Amino acid sequence: MSTATVTAPPAPVADGRIGLRGNLRHIGALVRRNLLWIRQDPESMFDAILFPIVFCLLFVFVFGGAIAGSGNRHAYVNYVVPGLMAMMGMNIAQGVGTGFNEDFQKGVMDRFRSLPISRGSVLIAKITVEIGRMLVATAVLLVVGFLLGLSVSNVPGLFAAIGLSMVFGFGVMWIFLTLGVVMKSAQAVQGMGFLVLMPLQFGSSIFAPTKTMPGWLQAFTDYNPLSSLADAARGLMNGHEPVTHDVLMTLGWSALLTLVMAPVAIRKFTTKS
């Protein structure tokens, strides 16, 4: 009795055996795939385009008079726009987790995990595209800010503030990618993101100076990375205050989030059943 020879399918290449060139090629292909998806679904850019406009107009014209005084709205524009740069990064990061979870529900990520590609390249490609969306959101925010009277006395500092926001957004995205993997639905990711974002955003110096807050809340804002990022952006753009401490705090938080959450996100992505 003869037995048929069964040829096993080739096993996926382990991540450690893929060289740098191969990883870069995989990331490039996946970035192109994500960009083509945005081209086919332009509505996915609405949050990056409309949120900066809505939030800037809302806080300047609705809250600006109350916070800075009705005759000092111009000063509030210079205060709130750098803070909103930090807020945009957090909002885009939340969208990363939601979109990632939806890709899992549709089976897209199962297909990627069956391919002989680095698991990290899937996540890095996603983050790369979202960093691009953050740049679009920041550009829209700055255009609206300039139309409302934003003044920048240090142009190189402006670009440094944008870069600092991108670095922090990169670190935060790993948190939401992890949530996108472990949560059961996109709605759950969005709800969890809301619970995380609201205290961080409103318990910070993004919208108002912290000196009027209760002592216990000021203690929280002192360690809130969004306060450090907002204060650093203001100092870099206008050069009126020292920024070394706030810049180092922001970079430290960004590095910590990346070092802790990136391995967790990759492991959860690889082992998700």
Q: CA 124, CA 18: separation in Å to the nearest integer?
A: 15
Domain assignment present for 12? no
> Tell me, what's the pLDDT at 29?
82
**246 is a domain residue:** yes
Flag whether 262 is in a domain: yes
- Map tokens 């524009």 to a residue: 77
pLDDT at 70: 55
Q: Does 19 reside within a domain?
A: no
The pLDDT of residue 44? 76
Q: What pLDDT does residue 142 have?
A: 94
pLDDT interval class at 256 (50, 70, 90):
very high
Residue 52 maps to a domain: yes
Which of residues 101 and 228 earns the better pLDDT score? 228
Read off the DSSP letter of residue 11: P
232 domain-assigned: yes
Give the tokens for residue 138: 């920041």
Cβ neighbours, 10 Å, residue 263: 12
Which range marks the domain in which residue 49 is found? 42-271
Alpha helices in 59-118 (DSSP H): 64-68, 73-106, 108-113
Tokens linked to 63: 């809250």
Q: Structural domain tally of the chain?
A: 1
Q: Exposed, middle or buried by CB within 10 Å (0-12, 13-18, 19+), for 233?
A: buried
Compute the average pLDDT of residues 37-64: 84
User: Within a domain: residue 35?
Assistant: no
Specify the pLDDT at position 8: 40
Does residue 27 lie within any of the structural domains? no
Q: What is the SS3 assignment for 180?
A: helix
> Is residue 109 predicted with pLDDT exceeding 90?
no
Q: What pLDDT is recorded for position 69?
A: 60
